[in-house]
Amino acid sequence: MDEIILLISIIMIKTQITISNTLGLHARPSMKLAELCSKFNAEIYIKKDGKKINAKNMMDILMLASGYRSQIEILVDGDDEKIAVKEIKSLFSDRFGEES
């Protein structure tokens, strides 16, 4: 009798981000981030100071109180994780369209 062994590989993309917009993740950028993350099937989380929250929830993002120069970690796991990370990093590097 043949035996089939299924190995499950858990690969998650983790990236560190420093908040560079001077007002931090206040309501408008938190809303933009949650809306962007909600476009993806991947599970997306943000970690800061030992807390891990769902990045698809604006209120959870606000509760992290991520101010200017705060360090956060983005964790993304799913079939569209690579494009999700790319777009999230772009949103942060563009400072949410708030500053030039």
Structure-block tokens of residue 87: 């777009």
**Is 47 a catalytic site residue?**
no
- Write phi, then psi, for 46 (nearest 5 degrees): -125, 135
Nearest-angstrom CA–CA distance, 13 and 9: 13
Distance separating the N- and C-terminal Cα atoms of the chain:
66
Residue with tokens 């089939």: 4
Sheet holding 71-77, edge to edge: 13-18, 71-77, 43-48, 51-54
Catalytic position from the list 13, 26, 31, 77: 26
> Looking at the annotation, which residues are catalytic?
26
